[in-house]
Every structure is written in C-alpha cells, then in structure tokens.
Amino acid sequence: MRVVTSVSELAMAERGSGDSAVVMTMGALHDGHVELMRAARREVGVDGTVIATIFVNPAQFAPGEDFERYPRTLEADLAACEDAGVDLVFTPTVSEVYGSPEGLPVDAVTVDPGPLGDILEGVTRKGHFRGMLTVVHKLLAMTGPDVAFFGEKDYQQLVLIGRMVRDLNMPVRIEGVPTVREADGVARSSRNRYLSSEERVIATTIPHALDTVAASLADGVEVAVAAGREVVAATAGIALDYLEVTDPELGPAPVAGPARVLIAVRIGSTRLIDNIPCRMGTA
C-alpha cells in the first residue's frame, strides 16, 4: 500500500490494469469504512486499484461544529486501510485541497446542492452540503476513479452525490453500501466515540425508533412517525431533531413502494443521524 499527500504524487502513482474505485473518508475509521473498502476491492478485483482518501474537510463543518475535536487517528487508519486491501491512500493537507491553509476561499467556485441541500440535515447545518459536494467533486477529479463507494448511513449525502454526478455528467459510478451496525443495532459512526457509556446505551433508542416507524407504516405516515417520536420521548437524555419518511430520492413519502425513514438526534453534545429502508403500502 502506498500513501501519498499531493495531487502530483497521486497522478504519478502506479495503478493496476483494471478499473479503479475510491472510498472517501475523514479518518477515524471503523468497520463501516472498512466494509466500503472491501466492497471496492470486490468490485475492481485483483487487477484493479482501490484508493482511499483521508481528509477532514473544514468546508463541511458549520460554525460551532466539531471540526477541531473531530478524531484524527492516521496511524490506525492506515493500518485499517491496508488490512482492507487498499492499494493507494491519499492524505492531503487543507492547503493541497483548497490552495490555502485557511480552507475553501470565500470567492471559490463551489457546488450548489440545490433544494435537496436545504432539507433534513440542511436545516440545521447551513452550508454543510455545499462544502461536502465541493470536496467530493474535487477528490473525484483528483483520484479519477471509475466507481466511488459511499455508505448509506449518511443517506442524504449519498443521494446528493448521486444527483451531482448525474446532473453534471461526471464520468463515475456511485455505489451505496448498507449501513454497518453494532450488535445492538446502533449504526457505526466516528462520532460514537464522543458518547459516554451511559449515552451509548441511550443511542439504542435510535434504531428502535426507526424500526417502530417502519413497522407502523401500514397505518399511515403520520401515525408511524408519531409512534417513532413516542419512542424517543420516552427516553431521557435524547433530543429529537427530525424523524421523517421520504421516497428514496428524499421527496415526499410515496403511497406505495420503497421509502426511507431518517432520523437525527442529540445525545449530550453529540449529534447522530441514521436511516433505514422501508416500504409503503404493505399491511
């Protein structure tokens, strides 16, 4: 496995004869990230190249969010990448990505997420998706993959990246990978390490609420969401940000067919998101 820090090194790095796949991360890797890398390895085979990027992107953190305290565990991350079969790891500095140690210049050209960037996470995290899509666009241009893998845990992010690639006619395929969960159902997340032992127990409320909504959809969206809200309200130490049912592209919930249940909560000072697929119109 080779580790590079500059775009020039990345361009010169030797690659396999097959397709290339990229997995973009902000580090603090867990089994969810590793599954993305393994999926990438399966996709491109032994002749292809798996690239992982590790970059904590300041442009997607709103003022007051956890950019400074976001965990940085590069040595362990590189070991995880190697174990997962990654061939090439790109670990650029902020200056390498944005041309300035201050991050994204105020007059820079950026990617506008459109109306989908103003709902759900976009309500409370102003500018987050503009910063996320801009860095994803840049990293796709830098790494030049045939396919890119993203986790379904950050579902709104996945949908927006797919839209960006389609709308801007970018020559890359986007693949989503199902959320990796702990034995108690809690989604793997780098932010889980912020939770105390008591808060970690409270976090099991999240999958419980999601499952409750999905199981109640035969009674209608309003009834199902109300049932999920009751689950959260019955647990001390957790505050609900949103709990919604949408279609797979984050539009209004369909009358029948595939749908998505999405949730965001705060437990102490930590904000966590999760979602699950579901179906409407089934009794």
Residues with a catalytic annotation lie at: 33
In terms of Cα–Cα distance, which of 60, 63, 44, 61 is closest to 52? 44
CA angle at 188 for the pair 248 and 277, rounded to the nearest 5°: 20
Gyration radius of the chain over CA positions: 19
59 CB contacts (<8 Å, ≥6 apart)? 98, 103, 104, 127, 130, 131, 132, 134, 135
**258 burial class (0-12, 13-18, 19+ CB within 10 angstroms)?**
exposed
Task: Give the orientation angle of helix 128-143 with respect to helix 155-167, to 10 degrees.
Answer: 60
d(CA 271, CA 137): 26
Whether 71 contacts 190, CB under 8 Å: yes
Tokens in use for 174?
């986007």
